[in-house]
């Protein structure tokens, strides 16, 4: 479920499925609120969407590349492109809505 700067291209950008990436850090309280929701969504969308977490402290290169200024930031990629960005501790319904927009549901 974790992705690093080194594996980002292979795991996220080259994925056949859409990918949700949770940009987070261990010290971020809102990130800890969003984390269990992201894990639930990973189970719900298993087979339709891949879900990864990227620790911005350990992987600053990717966070910088995508202009991550505040966390949590959830980016949804499809075919290597960012199609949706959700910033802050969004509730499950908001996250599902964003995912459904990308999945075309």
Q: Which residues contact 94 (CB under 8 A, 6 or more apart)?
A: 86
Q: Are 66 and 82 in contact (CB under 8 A)?
A: yes
Active-site option among 12, 19, 21, 28 = 28
Instruction: Verify whether residue 96 is a known catalytic residue.
Output: no
Compute how many other C-beta atoms are within 10 angstroms of the C-beta atom of residue 78: 16
Instruction: Verify whether residue 31 is a known catalytic residue.
Output: yes
Tell me the C-alpha distance between 76 and 5, whole Å. Answer: 17
Active-site option among 31, 37, 49, 63 = 31
What amino acid positions are annotated as catalytic residues? 28, 31
């Amino acid at each position: 479920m974790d992705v690093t700067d080194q594996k980002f291209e292979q795991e996220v950008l080259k994925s056949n499925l859409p990918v949700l990436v949770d940009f987070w850090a261990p010290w971020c309280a809102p990130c800890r609120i969003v984390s269990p929701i992201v894990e639930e969504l990973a189970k719900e969308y298993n087979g339709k969407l891949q879900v990864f977490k990227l620790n911005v402290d350990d992987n600053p290169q990717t966070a910088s590349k995508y202009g991550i200024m505040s966390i949590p930031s959830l980016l949804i990629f499809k075919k290597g492109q960012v199609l949706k960005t959700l910033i802050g501790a969004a509730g499950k319904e908001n996250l599902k809505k964003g995912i459904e927009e990308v999945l075309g549901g």
